[in-house]
Amino acid sequence: MVETQISGEKADKVISKLGFDGIAKIDAWGRSGGVWCLWDSNSWNARVLQVADQLLSLEVRGVDGTDWILSVVFGSPNFS
């Protein structure tokens, strides 16, 4: 996983070119942060549980019926 460092319309254009139909994202702040979770709904079913400034949590179900929680955190290196 990497910082996306892009947001808004530019991020939407990049995401649309990747070909995933499942999308959950937190936009970057300027050139810092940003989290994308992208998936193919033929393989995964995901439901967004929580979105915060630096947190994205999803309930995920695989094609085998296994449920799990995915939490992605962007931990800013700035103390504030």
Q: Is the pTM of this model over 0.85?
A: no
60 within 8 A of 74, measured Cβ to Cβ: no
- Indicate whether 1 pLDDT > 60: no
The two tokens of residue 79 are: 């103390």
- Cα 61 from Cα 66, distance rounded (Å): 5
pLDDT at 2: 55
Q: For residue 19, give Cα distances in angstroms to 13, 16, 41.
A: 11, 6, 11
For residue range 18-69, list pLDDT tens digits in order: 999 999 988 887 777 788 899 999 989 999 999 988 889 999 998 888 999 9
pLDDT at 3: 58
